[in-house]
């Protein structure tokens, strides 16, 4: 189970409605945050997203508004108290590898996962949810 986050740059100041939204990424339990990179939008890193967040409002997939500080915290301060019980086979089947703070992280493959952030996030290209 996970939660997707979106940026609405033209959101109404009163209700938050917007026709267009950009997918920021997905938070999934036990995984590093999947941060969506969108090179054609000039978004290739968390720093690029932080700049972009100043131009709109952030909402989760359920319509709840999230502050940029809160989302930044969800991306950069992730972890599990207990180590994963995944076997090498589990990691291989999920195209994953052990990550920081007892989490799984996507394996860099140059197509889907194009890099690892300096902390608890992965840089994910293409459409996903």
Q: What is the pLDDT of residues 67-91, one digit of tens each?
A: 999 999 999 999 999 988 999 999 9
- The DSSP symbol for 4 reads E
Residue corresponding to tokens 């599990």: 80
Task: Say if CB 42 and CB 66 are below 8 A apart.
Answer: no
Rounded Cα distance between 46 and 24, Å, is 10
- The DSSP symbol for 80 reads -
- What are the extents of the domains in the chain? 2-124
CA 80 to chain centre: 17
* Confidence band of 128 (pLDDT split at 50, 70, 90): confident
Q: What length is written for the chain?
A: 129
Full-model pTM: 0.91
The H or E element spanning position 114 is strand 113-116
């Amino acid at each position: 189970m996970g939660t997707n986050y979106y940026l609405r740059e033209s959101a109404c100041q009163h209700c938050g409605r917007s026709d267009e939204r950009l997918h920021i990424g997905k938070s999934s339990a036990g995984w590093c945050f999947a941060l969506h990179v969108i090179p054609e939008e000039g978004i290739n890193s968390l720093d690029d997203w932080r700049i972009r967040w100043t131009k709109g409002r952030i909402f989760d997939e359920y319509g709840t508004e999230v502050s940029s500080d809160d989302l930044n915290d969800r991306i950069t301060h992730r972890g599990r108290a207990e180590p994963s019980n995944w076997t090498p086979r589990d990691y291989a089947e999920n195209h994953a590898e052990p990550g920081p703070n007892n989490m799984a992280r996507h394996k860099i493959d140059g197509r889907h996962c194009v890099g690892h952030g300096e902390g608890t996030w992965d840089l994910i290209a293409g459409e996903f949810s």
